[in-house]
Amino acid sequence: MRVSDNLRMLQDKVNVACQRSKRAPDEVKIIAVTKYVTTERALEALECGVTHLGENRDEGLLEKWNTLGDKPTWHFIGTLQTRKVKNIIDKVDYIHSLDRESLAKEIHVRAGDRTISCFVQVNASGEESKHGLTPEMVVPFIKELEKFPKIRVEGLMTMAPFTEDDAIIRQCFQTLKKLQLDIQHLNLPYAPCMELSMGMSNDFEIAIEEGATMIRIGTALVGE
């Protein structure tokens, strides 16, 4: 299907989820996850009005950036190896996978004169296969980030389990929302934590109901 058709159906579902949760649709940003599609398909998304693109590998991001440049707002959404920070640091607007001090230090060192907007990645489901901090580690970790003034914690990111049990998915997102509120109550100037990056093609409606401000959509939007 054309991206425009997918976007229309996706936006309808976003609007309904926002109505159910008494939220305004403009509170939710759609990130088109383009990691499995061509640069041409990513360009098609931009031409339809999508402004946020997400990549999970530095090679994929650089390939598309070489053509699309800074037209979109770029999100790095995958696990980021410390040694690859230098490859993407001047190309991305958001990094969604900050989960350890060594990575924070490298981002800080490579930031130049910029402040880098980051999401702290949380393993809210407790699955061994997933990256991220345990919920108990998040607040202490964010407090430690004060020593890296070129990092700004815009929010938290998580991935829910791939399951048909909506209750399990909802609990995962509720955990992230509670953490967000805990961090906001700390009133840390470098960690306003106003954003929640959660929800993908299979569970974004639940994520919106639980407070997502950014949803990461691949198959349902740009998938062929």
Distance separating alpha carbons of residues 224 and 213, to the nearest angstrom:
25
The 3-state DSSP class for residue 95 equals strand
Q: How many domains are contained in the chain? A: 1
Domain hosting residue 26, numbered range: 3-222
CATH of the domain at 113: 3.20.20.10
Dist. CA 108–CA 114, nearest whole Å = 9
Phi-psi region of 98 (alpha: psi -120 to 50; beta: other; left: phi over 0): beta
pLDDT tens for the 224 residues of the chain, in order: 899 999 999 999 999 999 999 999 999 999 999 998 999 999 999 999 999 999 999 999 999 999 999 999 999 999 999 999 999 999 999 999 999 999 999 999 999 999 999 999 999 988 888 899 999 999 999 999 999 999 999 999 999 999 999 999 999 999 999 999 999 999 999 999 999 999 999 999 999 999 999 999 999 999 85
**Model pTM score:** 0.96
Yes or no: say if 99 and 131 are a contact pair by the CB < 8 Å rule: yes
Q: Which residues pair with 31 in a beta bridge?
A: 52, 216
pLDDT of residue 127: 85
195: left (phi over 0), alpha (psi -120 to 50) or beta: beta
Q: How many residues comprise the chain?
A: 224
Nearest to 165 by CA among 206, 200, 111: 206
